[in-house]
Amino acid sequence: MNRLLSRLAIISATVALAFASVAIAQQSTGPTLPPEELAKQQQQRTVQQPYNNAPTWDKARGAVAGYTSIPGVETGVLIQDGGQTWRALKNGTVSVWGGWAFVAMMLIVGAFYGWKGTIQLKEAPTGRMIERFTLTERMAHWTTAITFSILAISGLILAFGKNILIPVFGFTVFSWLATLAKTLHNFVGPLFVVSIVITFFVFLRDNMPRAIDFKWLVTFGGLFSGKHIPSERFNAGEKIWFWGGLMVLGIVVGVSGLVLNFPNFGQTRSTMQLANLVHLGGSLIFMVGALGHIYMGTLGMAGAFSAMKTGQVDEAWAKEHHEVWYDDIKAGRIPAVRTKSLTAAQPVGGDD
């Protein structure tokens, strides 16, 4: 008796699925079987191969668009096979390689700090201050830095939280973190894009490549040799980060993020999947580069963080790290103080 009831339940379910598949495939340009014939085929397959609903699901997949009353792009497609490729790339190639690259960069930064420590000035500070960053420049930089940090942390939670955080905190805490991360990511993202555009134009003039940058680049600024390599207001490394990080990666991450953030402009599922892969891959590369930039601006070099915090650097710091820029200030080609509310403690180049 139980076997008979089970068999009847299976037949009823398969009949319902068969009729549903006919409704999904009714707009197909090719010939379609009558509902009764399709249901009969599915019943036969169920007897021969229990739980194998291949005929029904073949009709339900994206090769044939069905009918729906919901407006929108691809709403008539029940299953898109391309999603399997996207998931394999996202959870496999992109996440694995990008994640390990991020970990490797953290190890490199930690090893470099253990080797070099914080790079100190070779000469004693003079007490004469030079304005390195104006208030506008600092506001643009800090807005970009803060929004980037929020997006990086929330993005890492969304990308790797299931594998790393759930075993530590459990499902409940992770669900709160994921919801918070998603909300922050969606709302802070557009602000980050705007801040990138502003920062680009604020720092553009002093980041134009020059012939002098080549010597700095091939010697890594004397980082390993210990030799002094003159540079302009921004050295070649900072200029590469400006053009490669802020501009190129900023555009890649920003545009792909906006495509994902505003899916109401006719994007197809394949477009969203491609944007997701580009956004994840570009963001991980961006974060890998940012680790080096953040390190040099904080622990890596004495006086660098203070320069962006207060806007001023000691004359000895300017001469040691950006001698060409310092010489231009000393010669009067560039003012030592650009903000009227600030005054130099002593004219640059005065008696020590």
Give me the pLDDT at residue 227, please: 77
Between CA 294 and CA 284 the distance in angstroms is: 15
Q: Amino acid identity of 10? A: I
333 or 225, which is more confident:
333
pLDDT digits (tens, 9 = 90+) for 133-162: 999 999 999 999 999 999 999 999 999 999
pTM, two decimals, is 0.79
Between CA 258 and CA 190 the distance in angstroms is: 7
Domain locations along the chain: 2-60, 82-330
Given a cut of 60, is residue 347 above it in pLDDT? no
| 15 pLDDT tier (thresholds 50, 70, 90) | very low
| 77 pLDDT tier (thresholds 50, 70, 90) | confident
Give me the pLDDT at residue 200, please: 97
Give me the pLDDT at residue 46, please: 72
Name, of 14-18, 92-96, 189-193, the range with top average pLDDT: 189-193
| 265 pLDDT tier (thresholds 50, 70, 90) | confident
- Give me the mean pLDDT over the 91-98 stretch: 92
pLDDT digits (tens, 9 = 90+) for 214-223: 989 888 877 7
Residue with tokens 């085929």: 41
Nearest to 242 by CA among 283, 209, 284, 265: 209
pLDDT digits (tens, 9 = 90+) for 113-133: 999 899 899 899 999 999 999
CATH 1.20.1630.10 matches 82-330: no
267 or 195, which is more confident:
195
Q: Do 307 and 313 contact (CB within 8 A), yes or no?
A: yes
CA atoms within 13 A on the CB side of 167: 3
- Give me the mean pLDDT over the 101-119 stretch: 94
271 or 25, which is more confident:
271
Nearest to 336 by CA among 134, 170, 34: 134
SS3 readout for 201-268: HHHCHHHCCCCHHHHHHHCHHHCCCCCCCCCCCCCHHHHHHHHHHHHHHHHHHHHHHHHHHCCCCCCC
Q: How far is CA 15 from CA 10, 20, 209, 229, in A?
A: 9, 9, 70, 79
Query: Which DSSP category does 340 fall into?
Result: T
pLDDT digits (tens, 9 = 90+) for 17-72: 444 444 444 444 344 566 677 677 767 777 777 766 666 676 666 556 677 777 77
Give me the pLDDT at residue 62, please: 57
Q: What are phi and psi of 133, to 5 degrees?
A: -135, 135
| 179 pLDDT tier (thresholds 50, 70, 90) | very high
pLDDT digits (tens, 9 = 90+) for 300-323: 999 999 999 999 999 999 999 999
Give me the pLDDT at residue 228, please: 77
